[in-house]
Amino acid sequence: MKYQTQKVSIGSDHAGYELKAKLETLFVAAGLQVHDHGPHTADSVDYPDHAHPVATQVAEEGILGVLICGSGNGVCMTANKHTGIRAALCWNKELAMLARQHNDANILCIPARFVSEAVALEMVDAFLTTAFEGGRHAIRVNKILC
């Protein structure tokens, strides 16, 4: 499988902890370098404490990231406060693919309480293997930043 990155930054809140741990194991097995920004237990945490470091690393290193929380909204809103971040809240494989193809999304946000593990795995695979199409989409993406 051809991934669009060799390194992945990942983080979650307590609602996404189990899925994050599963994804990290799969990433390592696939030969990807993983930087896990926590949490490292299922204890209650504040999602911005883990979303900000992922967004910072993705923006600075030009890699892809995955953020997970209960609804996906909190981590998505937090990440999108960072310059250069295009975090996309997705709930199926097709949206994850389109986020990469048309929007050059660099962080996939997953709503852990609203998608099955199987769907989450499909989304992550699609996100990491889909390239940005550029062209007319690049013109639009370049207009996003304020």
Verify whether residue 137 is a known catalytic residue.
no
- In angstroms, how far is the first alpha carbon of the chain from the final one? 35
Q: Which residues contact 30 (CB under 8 A, 6 or more apart)?
A: 1, 3
Tell me the one-letter amino acid at 11. G
**Alpha carbons 39 and 44: distance in angstroms, whole number:** 9
State the catalytic residue, choosing from 69, 76, 90, 109: 69
Verify whether residue 102 is a known catalytic residue.
yes
Tell me the one-letter amino acid at 101. Q
Candidates 136, 124, 121, 144; CA nearest to 4 is 124
**Alpha carbons 43 and 52: distance in angstroms, whole number:** 19
- Please give the positions annotated as active site: 69, 102
